[in-house]
Amino acid sequence: MPLLWNPKQAPVLNALDALTRGWFPRKAQGHWIFGLPKSGTTVFAAALSEVTSSSALLDTPLLWGTAIKPLNESEMKTLVVAHPVTFAPTLWKEPNATFYPEAAMAASQANRHILLVRGPLQNIRSHMDRLGLKGDATSVDLAALHPNHRPAFLDHADDPPALTLARRWRDTHNKACWDTPEVQVHTYESFMANPEAVLQASAQHLGLPVLNPPVRSLAKQQQPCGANRNVRPEAFFGEAICQEIEALTAEAFQRITSTGA
């Protein structure tokens, strides 16, 4: 299996970054695997890594907490240069970068990237499951959330969290950079239905060889299973919230998936 770096290895990576900083200048050439939290990007990136025998960065604490205060191009480039080992892999996957993709892409010499889109109802259900929030919640108890998860709700604590996340889903996928030759769009649903075809198309877009079947990565549970993973969105949110989510996201979902797989 190719090298996969995850947040648990961050202390070691930071130490190696400090040791090598300035000694071995290199051009960062990572291909971003963009996608909102709980969009399936972990299993996708791990599978693409296995298929192409490419190293991958699977999340990094260096970008945690940047969703609300996005990094600009200069800040992103400075961060990548300061952490040459962390950003040495061929594939970069960190959901927070999806909120400022233009700056993220500018920090890499690579000019091809992937966006993985999951249907809004399923994505938001999975995200709320991860946060321990009920689908029909009418407000958010910020104190009950992990500090890393509070920023998304700071200005909307008295709103239904499902609708706050729906607006964020819409705004994130409305960015013009997704509709460019540099970014290939795939849906999580199409990936799960036909993983080898989607991975082959992604590898071709990135200019990477297809060397192996994605056997190990697809057989492994990459993220903890949510308690409501098999619950229909209508049952999780209630019909009224479902309709509001669809009203907020339908146009963006249609546009972003019309150019993808």
Q: Each residue of 132-141: pLDDT tens digit?
A: 999 999 999 9
In this prediction, residue 3 carries a pLDDT of 82
In this prediction, residue 108 carries a pLDDT of 97
Q: Which two tokens stand for residue 211?
A: 């060397």
In this prediction, residue 1 carries a pLDDT of 46
pLDDT one-digit tens code per residue, 73-109? 999 999 999 999 999 999 999 999 999 999 999 999 9
The domain of 179 spans 4-258
Query: CATH number, domain at 149?
Result: 3.40.50.300
How many domains, the chain?
A: 1
At 186 the three-state DSSP class reads strand
Which amino acid would we find at residue 97?
Answer: A
Longest dimension (CA), the chain: 58
Task: List the beta bridge partners of residue 92.
Answer: 32, 57
Q: What is the dihedral of CA 1, 207, 5, 93, to 10 degrees?
A: -130
**Cβ(222)–Cβ(49) under 8 Å?**
no
| DSSP 8-state code for residue 226 | P
At 92 the three-state DSSP class reads strand
Low-confidence ranges of the chain (pLDDT < 70): 1-2, 24-25, 221-224, 259-261
